[in-house]
Structure 1
Amino acid sequence: MKVYRIVLAVLIGLAMALAQPYLGTAMGDRVEQVKAIAQEITVLIPETDPQSGKTANGSGFLIAKEGNTYTVLTANHVVCRDQQPVCNQPRPGLKVVTHDGQEHSLDFNSVKKLPEVDLAILQFDSNRNYKLATLGNYDTNINSERDVRLPNGEVIREYGHFVFASGWPGINHPDITELKYRFNVGRLLPENKMVGFRIRPVAEGYQAVYTSITYPGMSGGPVLDTEGRVIAVHGQNEGQRVYNEVAQRRERVMIGYSLSIPIGKFLNLAPQVNIPLNHITVQTTIPRELNLEDQDVIGTEYVLNWLGDQNSGNQNSAIYWANQGNQYWRRLRLKEAVEAYDKAIEINPEFYPVWYGKGLVRTFEGKYKEALANYNQAISILDQQIAQLPPETERQEMKNSIVKLRDKIQPFVANSPTAPTTPTVTSPAPPTQSESTVQPSPPSPPPEPNISQPQPQPQAEPQPETQPGLLW
């Protein structure tokens, strides 16, 4: 076995942190213990193409042990290039690297894909004793919306549970120059906040939407709750690659959210492909509610993650400000997100991703008229680019997605607040009705999901200028 020196740094302090079987009541201790758990259960799954020499990687996590055989749960696309019941295009040269740097051979015959979803298990043998994940299977909608009174007396509306994404971003990503483990904080958003701005279809099981910043290579990694239990499997990150004329290369614009598959999907489908559950630990209790002090501690981690994600990119680039806006957006700093998007528009008013990003923010705020104008602007720009480059399919797919989002909010537009004026741009107005832009009859709004504890309805009013309780 080969030791990966790059992972040895994560071992410092793990033994002491993991010695306590119960997560302490102090939230600072809890975050550190969740991080320690995540580091120990998460595995790196590298691949090497023997013909081209190209390398890539995904992530996964340990869920069971029988004898000396360990079982890893991951995203199917980490181990296979297709989603067939039996893999026709296995990824070459796969291995499993555990947190201690040990490299384990993988028998591809052990890989089993779960039906209907982008999940798979694989196995390896080791006589070492590794920590296994505890799975959390409960209704994440419970307590997902709440009013919080700040010390200054202000009452704010909070959405979603804090969660933690764990994985290994791949060094084949242009912004990642070092193979380094990541542990990023975010919020798992409630289903009723997804109405009107989920760009990806709920296909292959991707139903859990959360705000952690994730990168290619983290697919298959665990999403943990504040008790250190795995509640979902990360698999997708909304975004698109566009050409940066300043850097003269294609770069990723991360406008949107991170997507994951709820662990309940795995538990429900595993018996269908004869995956035994008797060696897997599952808990069904919801996490305890967090007080303001708890949220401050997690929020500090949230902000530190954010600072760590910052880079010295060219601030004269629209892509730079688009990604800055998305970081604010994912942290629910809506005012700052729009300001960043507006800076991108000042640099390049024809950069459609920022108009789409603004549409998402305005949709979240309930400012549907302005969201409609933003989406239409993005569609107009895309129409021009599609006409100039008809063979390309990526822009047409993006346009189709934005059209769907625009159509989803149509039923809400009439009752939305009057929107501020959209900045003047050089693009022409959205085209007159044609086959590509005719709007179908507005669909009825999707029903609100049933949750066991009814919560007050969120306010559609604009966010205040200062948001002391929404620093993360």
Structure 2
Amino acid sequence: MNYKYTFPAVLIGVSIALVQTQVAFALSSGQVAKIAKQITVLIDSSAPGSGVIVKRSGNTYTVLTAAHVVTSKNKAEIVTPDGKRYQLNYSTVKPLPGVDLATFQFTSSNNYPVAKIGNSDQSSEGTIAYVAGFPKAKAASISSSIYNFTDGKITANASRPLKDGYALVYSNITLPGMSGGPVFNEQGELIGVHGKGDESEVDIETSKVNPEVAYIKSGFNLGIPINTFLRLSAKSGVDVGVTPPPERIVTAPKADDFFIQGVDKQNKGDNQGAIIAYNEAIRLNPNNAEAYNNRGNVRSKLGDKLGAIDDFNLALKFNPNLVEPYINRGNVRSELGDKQGAIDDFNLAIKFNPKLAQAYNNRGLVRKDLGDKQGAIDDYNLAIKFNPNNADAYYNRGIVRSELGDKQGGIDDYNLAIKFNPNDADAYNNRGLLRDELGDKQGAIDDYNQTIKINPNYAYAYNNRGLLRDDLGDKQGAIDDYNQAIKINPNYALAYYNRGTIRYSLGDKQQAVSDLQQAANIFQQQGNREAYQQILGVIGEIQQQ
């Protein structure tokens, strides 16, 4: 059964914000959060996004956002901090050339503050960053986006941006719907526009008995620096009343330039290219903990587990307070069988962040592997306490509850996993198994149908549905399901066995023996001698008849 690892930064009239040159003092996170909430807007549509108010002229407000948020021209409304709604007039949308940025305007007699513009060139690795926006609601029961404000740190500020102007990289947790939202420094100044982020969800391959662990990814959230906007705005006729900074002087590539290339290549699945880029980032900055952490993730994905651990060790050497390498090293140690080492790493992650849901979730998985099922449930409970929307923790707790005999408790947890992640094929499949055990055959079939709808290559769901169809008398439907399971996974011994038993019940002795023999051969190849011997016994009984 598959388990899930979770992964581990007002003036009335004409209002403008000027780039400040004097010494700035850091604000508390709460103070920046208050500023952010007053100037961040929701762009509510079928594909929602976020934006930030950057100018007021009379009753006309200008909003800056990511261009991809406002290119669909679907019906959209701007929702301001006071909950008022204004129709988005697409005739006011002005995309900026060559970058994923756009502005638009709306009119209101209400009084809304505007952002204070910072100097993004001064945002360097390790400095505080905040991101605000409106994540799209994942649960079907939640009809509207909910404001979100997260803290993190800048991990790179490249002088050579990626396509569409992306140059800022930060560790903040971001989610779909936050695109176009503001990025702030610790003075509460606008330093960028968020555009791309890692959802931090687990995508476990259902075809694997021991699925590959998905890792917390550090520095996978990308934004466009505000200085890029300012340099282009004057040339594009987008006046926000702020003097643009001088053009950057072209210099030799620096570590941040290679780091952001590594992030981009890793996101696109170019793992070898990512390693090359991270190698260069490390060559130029041998103390770059985030680069070691990210390279470790790529190495692990490529099967170099020991190399990954070496990288996580180096990341922690240069930044012992960075939580992600503890989580990632713990995951690899668990894969390599060092369960106690994994628990030690998750304990350290929890020491640095006692509210880190991912660490509790992953420690629960290891405790379960060690037979401590109650300890696992305790950890999943804590993961849920600190993140009540943690679909993976509900899923994992559902597995343990069902194994302990609490079938209804398992179903309840799968219900919650599905509520917070409606596309979780594993949760539907597992809930189907429990419904079947409790006698709800049709409910189980409905769950397998939904599993297959989400993932048409889910061989287990076809096999499970085939068993139910057979129980309900639909022999041909069952055979069709076993055929599909075998097509997806030609080494699926159980599907051959199940198809063979149905063929025997239908009087097709020859094909039945063929399927059973194939199942026996596969079990033998897999080292399952007990199943191999049992099936040979069944074949012998059939041939004697």
**What's the TM-score, normalizing by structure 1?**
0.47
**Relative contact order, higher structure (CA 8 A, sep 6+):** 1
Structure holding more helix per residue: 2
Structure holding more strand per residue: 1
**What's the TM-score, normalizing by structure 2?**
0.41
Larger-gyration structure (1/2): 2
